[in-house]
Amino acid sequence: MAGTAMWTVWAHRTSAGWAMVRPTGGNRIPSCRGDDGLLDTVPEPVVVELRGSCVNPGSDRGFEPRDVYSLRIYRNRLHRYDDDGPEVSLQSMNTARSFTLSHYDRKAPRLKALREGLGTPRRAGCEARWPRLGLTARACGGRVTRLTLTGARWRLEGDAEADAFVTGQEVLIGDSVPLARYLDARLAKLPTHGRLRLPPMRIGRVRVAVSVVTRADHIVAIDFAIR
């Protein structure tokens, strides 16, 4: 698969070799069905393998063949303004649910903010869980001090500010360590079993430490310590 901001071009293997699928219109994310529909021309397993997505306007599923859970970690929000500051954003594209920790936050987030953005969690003591999202928060007294992502649909979006950024493809929880190292320059020193701590951030008055956790040569979680 190859793409630009204006066109998306698909290629996939067949018994006869490589088959090319023509651009699907002036949109990076094509429609799923109908004229130029991606799933009408490319088998769904191929779309999944290539980590592609398409949109179904008006459908309950929205994005097919799977929902898109997006994790964005920006040091300075694309340098749009020098004083804009870092940002962490979680988004579920199908449900339009989201939570953002930005420089406007003057203290650690409250569980109420996550509930308003992501829906009502399951509670057990200080732990709040969103099973469908693969998200767990530690929030004693309502103050969130830790967020942990374990769901295999979470995509760590590439750092558009990084000079060494190469591939344009996102890392998924569950990816092998060698693949993650290749796809994202921030993960070049990712261990096969342990954790890689990314450079700490100060978002407003909140300190955030991000760790990518691995086990048996695969990413198993992304963890945020908040204080």
Which tens digit of pLDDT belongs to each residue from 66-91?
777 999 888 765 555 556 678 899 99
pLDDT of residue 164: 47
Please check whether residue 74 is in contact with residue 198, taking contact to mean a CB–CB distance below 8 angstroms: no
For 150, phi then psi, to 5°, come to: -130, -10
Which residue numbers in the chain have pLDDT < 50?
A: 1-7, 24, 26, 164-166
Please check whether residue 197 is in contact with residue 186, taking contact to mean a CB–CB distance below 8 angstroms: no
Please check whether residue 47 is in contact with residue 38, taking contact to mean a CB–CB distance below 8 angstroms: yes
pLDDT of residue 83: 61
For 5, phi then psi, to 5°, come to: -65, -20
pLDDT of residue 68: 79
Please check whether residue 121 is in contact with residue 129, taking contact to mean a CB–CB distance below 8 angstroms: yes
